[in-house]
Amino acid sequence: MKAILGRLSELGLREISKLLTAAGAEGVLDIDGPAGRTQVAFRRGHLAGEVSSALVTAYSSRNGTYCFRPGAASDASEWLPQEEFFARLDVQAKAAKQRAEARDTGEGAGDPLAELRDSLAEIPIPGGAVRVVIAAADPRPYRTLIPEWSQRGWEVTLGDTPRWPDPPVPRLVVVHLPTTATLAGQDEIWLAVVKRAAAQRPPVPVVWVGAMGDPWLRHQAVASGVEFMMPAPMGEAGETARWFREDLTVVADRLLSRHSAGDESDVEAFRDFFLALHVDANPAEVRASVLRFAGTFFARGVLFEIRDTVFESVGGYGFAVASPVHVSRGLAPLEDVVVERKVIRLDAYPEEASAAVAKALGAHRGLDRAEAFPVLTAGECQAIFVGDRPIVEVGGTEVLAGVLARSGSHLGL
């Protein structure tokens, strides 16, 4: 395997780590970020490296370049499991954020990282700028949010009128409606912004704030495409206002993470990195890596090879099966994956369809929100991955679908 280079704006450090861990890769990831150079070593699913300001900045801002160099990783004083390493990194990122907030309120005088955080807020993220538009009849509760959201790499536009912004298309829209007393006759103007967001391809998620007391307006907002509704804060100061800002930040982060995972550029970055990792791997190693990677999306999974009369399992995890499993051809959801070459939810079909798969896999309690993914070779479906019990995490399953769609020729089936 040769060195793999890329930009953190396309594939973040956590995503890179997930792929390297799934592939069982060993080597060193060199990072050149806005706060300097740093390294993280990988070996058998464990990571080693100093959680420095350079690493925290690159991780938080997703800005900079990386180069993974495969080979024997040098000895380190402490090797940590992937999740423990990122837990420490998250703690340091949160601490830096809290120090910045303390400095902003006059409590952080003499903070040595103050200048670094100020410059971080001004760093443009190449190819990855996240534009957030806030249309608020009362913009005051949002003014203190802008510095924090800017540090996350979000480009925030705050206005007091409900109008669709000029290009480029935003990644998230927040609409904060006037009070009921002043809303009369204006509801269609606010709804028009929601409808415009829903009409984009892909649709732009909308957070709806306020106007919760009008049942008709709530219904129209949901029908128009609003993804989350929140009551308006009671003023711009105090504990309830702080809770509102924290809640809105969490909601915005979830929506942006979920929708950005569906961006073709992100899917391609995952897919290309995965294939680059396995350019010299044998088919058995690739199948094992695919299943380990799928394990970050589903608690149980099985890979079926498509044969003339049956779907035959060639690998899996989480199911108590000791020998190849055979599912007869003709089962509607699996056949639809073969023909339509797209992801299928098994629970969208009659219960007996998923029950047949569950019985073959020894899942006596049935399947839970199982999905079937096509594994393609030259555009034809060669195998099917069935994932069961989805794991709730950032990223959705679009990146898994992208990796599976391109890995067929590497599986040796």
User: pLDDT tens-digit profile of 189-204?
Assistant: 888 888 888 877 678 8
Torsion of CA 185, 191, 193, 199, to 10 degrees: -150
**CA dist 69 → 135, 141, 229, 360 (Å):** 46, 47, 46, 42
Q: Which of 275, 294, 281, 284 is nearest to 413 (CA)?
A: 284
99-117 mean pLDDT: 56
Burial class (CB in 10 A: 0-12, 13-18, 19+), 102: middle
Burial class (CB in 10 A: 0-12, 13-18, 19+), 74: exposed
Percent of the chain with pLDDT over 70: 86
Say if residue 29's pLDDT is above 90. Answer: yes
Give the pLDDT confidence of 233-270 residue by residue, as tens digits. 876 677 888 888 888 988 888 888 765 544 555 667 77
Per-residue confidence band for 180, with pLDDT thresholds at 50, 70 and 90: low
Residue 389 has what pLDDT? 92
**With 50 as the cut, is the pLDDT of residue 395 above it?**
no
- Cα–Cα distance, 197 to 190 (Å, whole number): 11
CA–CA gap between residue 101 and residue 94 (Å, rounded): 11
Would you state the pLDDT for residue 403? 86
- Could you tell me if 249 and 154 are in contact, meaning their C-beta atoms sit under 8 angstroms apart? no
Residue 211 pLDDT: 75
Residues 62-84 have pLDDT tens digits of 888 999 988 887 777 788 988 89
Across 140-163, average pLDDT: 83
Q: Report residue 125's pLDDT band, with 50, 70 and 90 as the boundaries.
A: very low
The amino acid at residue 330 is: G
Q: Containing H/E element for 390?
A: strand 380-390
Task: Provide the CB-side half-sphere exposure for 94 (13 A, CA).
Answer: 6
pLDDT at 116: 52
The whole-number pLDDT of residue 239 equals 80
Q: Span 342-346, mean pLDDT?
A: 90
First CA to last CA distance, the chain: 22
Is the confidence at residue 122, as pLDDT, over 60?
no
Distance, in Å, from the CA atom of 123 to the CA atom of 138, rounded to the nearest integer, reads 29
**How far is residue 376's CA from residue 394's CA, in Å, rounded to a whole number?**
25
User: Where residue 296 falls among pLDDT bands split at 50, 70, 90?
Assistant: confident
Please report, as a single letter, which amino acid is at residue 113: L
206-209 and 228-230 as β-strands: parallel, antiparallel, unpaired?
Answer: parallel
How many helices (H) and strands (E) in the chain? 15, 17
Task: Assess contact for 46 and 80: CB atoms under 8 A.
Answer: yes
| C-alpha dihedral (164, 130, 145, 143), degrees to nearest 10 | -40
Looking at residue 105, what is its pLDDT? 56
How confident is the prediction for the chain on average, in pLDDT?
82
What per-residue confidence (pLDDT) applies to 185?
63
Burial class (CB in 10 A: 0-12, 13-18, 19+), 168: exposed
Share above pLDDT 90 across residues of the chain, in percent, rounded to a whole number: 22
Q: Is the pLDDT of residue 213 over 50?
A: yes
- Report d(CA 43, CA 377) in Å as an integer: 31
Confidence of residue 305 (pLDDT cuts 50, 70, 90): very high
Cβ–Cβ under 8 Å, residues 338 and 376:
no
**How big, in percent rounded to 5, are the helix, strand and coil portions of the chain?**
40, 25, 35
Amino acid identity of residue 210, one-letter, is G
Q: Measuring CA to CA, which residue among 106, 164, 160, 136 is closest to residue 244?
A: 136
| Predicted local confidence at residue 111, as pLDDT | 53
- How confident is the model at residue 300, as a pLDDT? 94
Residue 156 is predicted with a pLDDT of: 87
Q: What is the mean pLDDT of residues 376-401?
A: 81
> Residue 262 has what pLDDT?
46
- Catalogue the E-assigned strands of 220-272: 228-230
Judged against a pLDDT cut of 80, whether residue 127 lies above it is answered with no
Residue written as token pair 């680059």: 276
Residue with tokens 């390297």: 20
Given this model, what pLDDT does residue 255 score? Answer: 84
- Return the axis-axis angle of helices 332-340 and 351-360, rounded to nearest 10°: 90
Q: What pLDDT was estimated at residue 375?
A: 92
More confident call, 323 vs 59 = 59
From CA 205, how far away is CA 174, in angstroms rounded?
Answer: 9
Over the stretch 161-171, which tens digit does the pLDDT of each residue have? 888 888 778 88
Domains and CATH numbers, the chain: 4-100 (no CATH), 129-260 (3.40.50.2300), 281-410 (3.30.450.40)
Q: Where are the beta strands (DSSP E) in 193-309?
A: 206-209, 228-230, 298-306
